[in-house]
């Protein structure tokens, strides 16, 4: 009996479990560009174009490999607009009575598949290293779910950077050698760019017509859209940038949007690259003496550590995770997250680059846009929707734990043992933004004082009860308490004035 095999826009790999469970001789692959998936948040046009173009190319790859594929384009007559609707339509056409799927990366879609009136078997997404039950076993009984310990287990499991049962280089983690301030010169020209081919051009026209009003610039479009291109982009990074990845991982520069980052998250998350090939390529660079251990360990940790850990948290915490709001914040997301119209140069630059590239690197996401939202008390659900919409690599399984957990502390400390907040000094140390900013980073109060400085103390003061006893924050409270009372009052009044300006919609 014929079965349908669902392949979603972020499951573009011949290794996915649904294909392994299917029978090429008789089963029919279903892929569909649908309004529901393209519209559940206002995705960046580059993200939609990337997914549609990569889907079209992958469908062709499957056909060439001998699969029967029923592919729905967004503007096809009869497109029902949803994944469930397309499955039912294809079931009617083919007489199929059941569906084989790989578990989606969002609770929303998992439950939509459960509600389809014909049986949908959701097989585990074993493109990931750590299965849900393995993560739960690791987490069970632990007081704190610290990524570092999870990561060590993943190192042992994979054998990556291991020498017998010891970590290569004698340490699990080389972060002590990383995180240098921004360099004057960057000798890496950024990620590999790909000229759009006919398939991509056709998708770009469609996306322009249908999603041209969404936040984000569509052209120039330079992403890889198939496995071969993504592998070239990976090799380019390994050769040209990996050696300095660790050193400048946390640096930010106005005129360099990518520094030594890999810019492969959208390829990994969509299935064009797998964690193993990426990590093995990095390890090989270290073994051949082409990249130092601090860079390679740091890079591999992001993938088998942070990426897998975040996914574990998302599935362990359940569908309500995205609604967490432990600090009870309800301020609306400021308009400048969409317009970049703010005098805070760091924020303006991060938003501008997000608008143009559908990409910002980790420290921009965490310590600029994320830090500001947390300091200003923005509703985490709004922050979550923004991140889910604007980045080409954003799917809830990875975006939500990064935003709700790591960046906004809205989960109360499951992901991070303390909130990631900082004043302007940290941003100034790690970037070249402050010298050209309308605000003065060295001014702590009064006209022209950096809003990060003011809001930082406002945040600590507001949440004293919650954070004062946290040993990682004790030093911050000691510094605050050493200021004389009059100065503290001025800082808090100035911080309140910044928030009033935000609420009034005045330029900040
Ligand atoms: P590199 O810096 O080169 O790192 C290599 C790879 O490690 C990345 O490609 C990614 O796959 C992985 N990685 C690194 N950090 C993380 C992390 N914290 N969580 C998961 N994987 C990680 N990443 C996403 O893939 N999708 C998101 O929607 C997303 N939203 C984020 C939101 C916030 C507020 C923050 C702070 C981080 C978010 N991240 C997200 C994590 C990280 O910022 C991106 O993975 C990274 O910036 C992608 O760029 P890159 O490929 O150049 O990464
Ligand atoms: C993100 C996305 C978009 C924009 N469009 C589609 C689509 O039209 N068809 C599809 O199958 N998948 C799409 N996706 C990816 C899904 O939203 C993704 O599979 C879920 O969010 C689960 O991670
Ligand atoms: Fe950002 Fe403050 Fe520096 Fe301006 S002075 S760039 S607002 S940290």
Of 164, 199, 252, give the one whose Cα is nearest residue 428.
252
The residue whose CB lies within 8 Å of the most ligand 3 atoms, and thus the one to mutate among 424, 444, 502, is 424
Distance 243 CA to ligand 3 centre (A): 30
* Pairing mode of beta strands 4-6, 28-32: parallel
pLDDT digits (tens, 9 = 90+) for 53-88: 999 999 999 999 999 999 999 999 999 999 999 999
Q: Note the pLDDT of residue 391.
A: 98
Q: Is-contact 361 245, C-beta < 8 A? A: no
| Token output for 361 | 């690197």
Q: What's the full length of the chain, in residues? A: 508
Average pLDDT of the chain, as a whole number: 97
CB-ligand 3 contact for 206 (6 Å cutoff): no
Q: Note the pLDDT of residue 302.
A: 98
Ligand 2 atom nearest to 34, measured from its CA:
8
Ligand 3 atom nearest to 436, measured from its CA:
6
pLDDT above 70 as % of the chain: 100
Closest ligand to the CA of 211: 2
d(CA 203, CA 404) in angstroms, rounded, equals 32
CB-ligand 2 contact for 226 (6 Å cutoff): no
Helix (H, G, I), strand (E, B) or coil at 450: coil
Q: Note the pLDDT of residue 178.
A: 80
Q: How confident is the model at residue 187 (pLDDT cuts 50, 70, 90)?
A: confident
Burial classification of residue 212, based on how many CB atoms lie within 10 Å of its CB (0-12 exposed, 13-18 middle, 19 or more buried): exposed
Ligand 1 atom nearest to 369, measured from its CA:
34
pLDDT at 281 over 90: yes
pLDDT digits (tens, 9 = 90+) for 436-475: 999 999 999 999 999 999 999 999 999 999 999 999 999 9
Q: Note the pLDDT of residue 214.
A: 98
Of 334, 459, 274, give the one whose Cα is nearest residue 468.
459
Distance 141 CA to ligand 2 centre (A): 35
pLDDT digits (tens, 9 = 90+) for 313-323: 999 999 999 99
Q: Could you identify the residue written with the tokens 């947390």?
A: 374
Burial classification of residue 176, based on how many CB atoms lie within 10 Å of its CB (0-12 exposed, 13-18 middle, 19 or more buried): exposed
DSSP string for 352-408? HHHHHHS---HHHIIIIIIHHHHHHTB-HHHHHHHHHHH-TT--HHHHHIIIIIIIT
Q: Note the pLDDT of residue 79.
A: 98
Closest ligand to the CA of 422: 3
pLDDT at 183 over 90: no
* Pairing mode of beta strands 28-32, 120-123: unpaired
The residue whose CB lies within 8 Å of the most ligand 1 atoms, and thus the one to mutate among 393, 399, 405, 422, is 393
Q: Note the pLDDT of residue 222.
A: 98
Residue owning the nearest CA to atom 10 of ligand 1: 265
pLDDT at 169 over 90: yes
Centre a 10 Å sphere on the Cβ of residue 184 and count the other Cβ atoms it contains.
6
CB-ligand 3 contact for 315 (6 Å cutoff): no
Closest ligand to the CA of 249: 1
Residue owning the nearest CA to atom 36 of ligand 1: 366
d(CA 65, CA 272) in angstroms, rounded, equals 16
d(CA 398, CA 308) in angstroms, rounded, equals 9
Distance 495 CA to ligand 3 centre (A): 15
Distance 426 CA to ligand 3 centre (A): 10
Q: How confident is the model at residue 335 (pLDDT cuts 50, 70, 90)?
A: very high
pLDDT at 176 over 90: no
Give 1's DSSP letter. Answer: -
Mean pLDDT confidence for 352-362: 98
Q: How confident is the model at residue 186 (pLDDT cuts 50, 70, 90)?
A: confident
CB-ligand 3 contact for 367 (6 Å cutoff): no
pLDDT digits (tens, 9 = 90+) for 132-145: 999 999 999 999 99
Distance 388 CA to ligand 3 centre (A): 25
CA distances 287 to 155, 181, 278, 282, 297, Å, are 16, 27, 15, 9, 12
d(CA 369, CA 387) in angstroms, rounded, equals 10
When computed from its CA atoms, the radius of gyration of the chain, rounded to whole angstroms, is 23
Q: Could you identify the residue written with the tokens 């049962």?
A: 165
Q: Is-contact 161 300, C-beta < 8 A? A: yes
d(CA 98, CA 120) in angstroms, rounded, equals 6
The angle at the Cα of 337, spanning 205 to 341, to the nearest 5 degrees, equals: 95
pLDDT digits (tens, 9 = 90+) for 32-42: 999 999 999 99
Q: Note the pLDDT of residue 152.
A: 98
Distance 180 CA to ligand 1 centre (A): 19
Residue owning the nearest CA to atom 4 of ligand 2: 38
pLDDT digits (tens, 9 = 90+) for 363-394: 999 999 999 999 999 999 999 999 999 999 99
d(CA 450, CA 447) in angstroms, rounded, equals 9
Q: Note the pLDDT of residue 179.
A: 82
DSSP string for 71-109? EE-TT-TT--SSHHHHHHHHHHHH----EEEEPPSSHHH
- Ligand 1 site, CB within 6 A: 261-265, 268-269, 299, 302-303, 306-307, 310, 361-362, 365-366, 370, 387, 391, 393-394, 398-399, 402-403, 406-407
Mean pLDDT confidence for 315-337: 98
For helices 132-139 and 308-317, what crossing angle results, to 10°?
80
Closest ligand to the CA of 101: 2
Query: What is the layout of strands, in order, in the sheet containing 28-32?
Result: 68-72, 28-32, 4-6, 99-102, 120-123
Q: Note the pLDDT of residue 378.
A: 98
d(CA 241, CA 29) in angstroms, rounded, equals 38
| Token output for 185 | 């010169």
d(CA 437, CA 19) in angstroms, rounded, equals 53
């Amino acid at each position: 009996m014929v079965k349908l095999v669902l392949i979603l826009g972020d499951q573009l790999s011949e290794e996915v479990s649904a294909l392994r469970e299917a029978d090429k001789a008789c089963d029919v692959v279903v892929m569909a560009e649908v309004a529901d998936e393209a519209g559940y948040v206002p995705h960046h046009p580059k993200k939609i174009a990337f997914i549609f173009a990569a889907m079209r190319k992958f469908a062709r790859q499957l056909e060439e490999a001998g699969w029967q594929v029923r592919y729905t384009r967004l503007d096809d007559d009869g497109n029902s607009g949803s994944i469930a609707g397309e499955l039912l339509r294809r079931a009617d056409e083919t007489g199929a009575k059941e569906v084989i799927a790989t578990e989606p990366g969002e609770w929303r879609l998992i439950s939509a598949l459960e509600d389809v009136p014909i049986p949908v078997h959701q097989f585990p997404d074993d493109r990931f290293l750590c299965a849900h039950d393995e993560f739960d076993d690791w987490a069970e009984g632990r007081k704190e779910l610290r990524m570092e310990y999870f990561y060590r287990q993943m190192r042992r499991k994979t054998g990556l950077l291991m020498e017998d049962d010891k970590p290569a280089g004698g340490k699990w983690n080389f972060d002590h050698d990383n995180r240098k301030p921004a360099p004057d010169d960057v000798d890496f020209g950024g990620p590999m760019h790909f000229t759009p081919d006919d398939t991509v051009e056709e998708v770009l026209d469609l996306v322009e017509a249908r999603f041209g009003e969404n936040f984000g610039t569509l052209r120039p479009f330079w992403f890889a859209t198939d496995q071969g291109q993504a592998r070239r982009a990976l090799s380019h990074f390994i050769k040209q940038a990996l050696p300095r990845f660790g050193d400048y991982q946390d640096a930010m520069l106005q005129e360099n949007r990518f520094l030594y980052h890999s810019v492969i998250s959208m390829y990994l998350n969509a299935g064009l690259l797998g964690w193993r090939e990426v990590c093995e390529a990095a390890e090989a660079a270290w073994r051949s003496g082409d990249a130092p251990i601090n860079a390679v360990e740091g890079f591999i940790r992001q993938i088998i550590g942070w990426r897998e850990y975040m996914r574990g948290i998302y599935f362990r915490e359940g569908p309500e995770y995205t609604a967490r709001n432990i600090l009870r914040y309800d301020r609306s997301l400021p308009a400048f997250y969409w317009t970049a119209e703010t005098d805070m140069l760091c924020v303006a630059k991060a938003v501008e680059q997000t608008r143009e590239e559908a990409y910002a690197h980790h420290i921009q996401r965490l310590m600029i846009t994320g830090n500001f939202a947390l300091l200003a008390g923005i509703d985490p659900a709004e922050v979550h929707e923004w991140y889910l919409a604007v980045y080409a690599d954003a799917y809830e399984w990875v975006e939500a734990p990064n935003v709700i957990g790591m960046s906004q502390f809205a989960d109360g400390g499951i992901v991070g043992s303390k909130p990631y907040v900082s004043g302007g000094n940290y941003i100034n140390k790690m970037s070249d933004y402050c010298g050209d900013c309308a605000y003065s980073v060295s001014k702590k109060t009064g006209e022209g004082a950096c809003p990060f400085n003011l809001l930082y103390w406002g945040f600590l003061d507001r949440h004293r009860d919650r954070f004062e006893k946290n040993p990682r924050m004790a030093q911050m409270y000691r510094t605050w308490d050493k200021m004389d009372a009059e100065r503290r009052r001025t800082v808090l009044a100035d911080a309140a004035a910044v928030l009033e300006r935000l609420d009034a919609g005045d330029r900040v």
